[in-house]
Chains A and B, each alone.
Chain A
């Protein structure tokens, strides 16, 4: 396990960025790199779903005249979406580096938090609906 760029035959100089990923280890199977790319994109779409939920919720809340609490939930959803977008990029870096160094892939730490957050938001909305329709 060296800190030198992989010397793969005729390829002259690896100038790909970020150097903190491509400057280490050896080239993994391209199929694994592309799978990692698709994983990051799936996280990005999850982030977009949070933002879409926030924008949709605040719009519906305004049109239907719901309480300002729904605007707070909408803002929280948008902030979570922005955080997940960062998670998508950082996760790609961590996994690509782990593959290059032939280390085990990092554990999906964010995944249980994501599930918990979705559950909390769903419960808040369900509670609001229960109070409103009583």
Chain B
């Protein structure tokens, strides 16, 4: 496989970028809402989620393909850990949202 005409890696990277930006936007909105309420505890929780979202948004380091002598067609890096991180960030944001609607 020389060059994928469907630009699959690029599309996947852009999909991650959209998701990361969306997570950061929602986290920022939740933090702003918490500040507006003056709920210090919720502000802290929102800031923690914001940090988590930032970690998820940053792309992982590329594996050293040349150093380990992989063929160019080796399978893509498993996305599971990053996917779970994004889910944890989303669930934590949901918890902040529930806190906001209860206070």
Q: Do A and B make up one complex? A: yes
Min CB–CB distance A70 → chain B (angstroms) = 8
State whether A17 touches B36 (Cβ < 8 A): no
For B, the interface residue count at a CB cutoff of 8 angstroms equals 45
Q: Which residues of B contact A75 (CB under 8 A)?
A: 97-98, 101-102
Q: Given that A62-B37, A82-B95 are known contacts, is A48 also in contact with B26, CB under 8 Å in the complex?
A: yes
Partner-B contacts on A (CB < 8 A): 9-11, 16-18, 21-22, 27, 30-31, 33-35, 37-38, 40-42, 44-45, 47-52, 54-59, 62, 71-72, 74-75, 77-79, 81-82, 84-86, 88-89, 92-93
Q: Given that A17-B78, A27-B75, A58-B97 are known contacts, is A44 also in contact with B86, CB under 8 Å in the complex?
A: yes
Q: Given that A17-B81, A35-B8, A62-B37 are known contacts, is A88 also in contact with B76, CB under 8 Å in the complex?
A: no
Q: Which residues of B contact A51 (CB under 8 A)?
A: 26, 90, 93-94, 97
Q: How far is the CA of A56 from the CA of B69 in the complex (A)?
A: 50
By DSSP majority rule, is chain A's interface helix, strand, loop, or mixed?
Answer: helix
Within 8 A of A (CB), among B8-58: 8-9, 11-12, 15-16, 18-19, 22-23, 25-26, 29-30, 33, 36-37
Min CB–CB distance B1 → chain A (angstroms) = 8
By DSSP majority rule, is chain B's interface helix, strand, loop, or mixed?
Answer: helix
Q: Which residues of B contact A48 (CB under 8 A)?
A: 19, 22-23, 26, 90, 93
State whether B29 touches A56 (Cβ < 8 A): yes
Instruction: Report 9 cross-chain contacts, Cβ distance below 8 Å, ordered by A residue.
Output: A11-B74, A17-B78, A18-B80, A30-B1, A45-B18, A49-B22, A52-B26, A55-B29, A58-B33
Min CB–CB distance A99 → chain B (angstroms) = 12
Q: How far is the CA of A16 from the CA of B25 in the complex (A)?
A: 31
Q: Which residues of B contact A62 (CB under 8 A)?
A: 37
Report which of B12, B33, B83 forms a contact with A55, defined as CB distance below 8 A.
B33
Question: B71 in the interface, Cβ–Cβ < 8 Å?
Answer: yes
Q: How far is the CA of A22 from the CA of B81 in the complex (A)?
A: 13
Q: Which residues of B contact A59 (CB under 8 A)?
A: 29, 33, 36, 100
Q: Given that A27-B75, A45-B22, A52-B29 are known contacts, is A34 also in contact with B9, CB under 8 Å in the complex?
A: yes
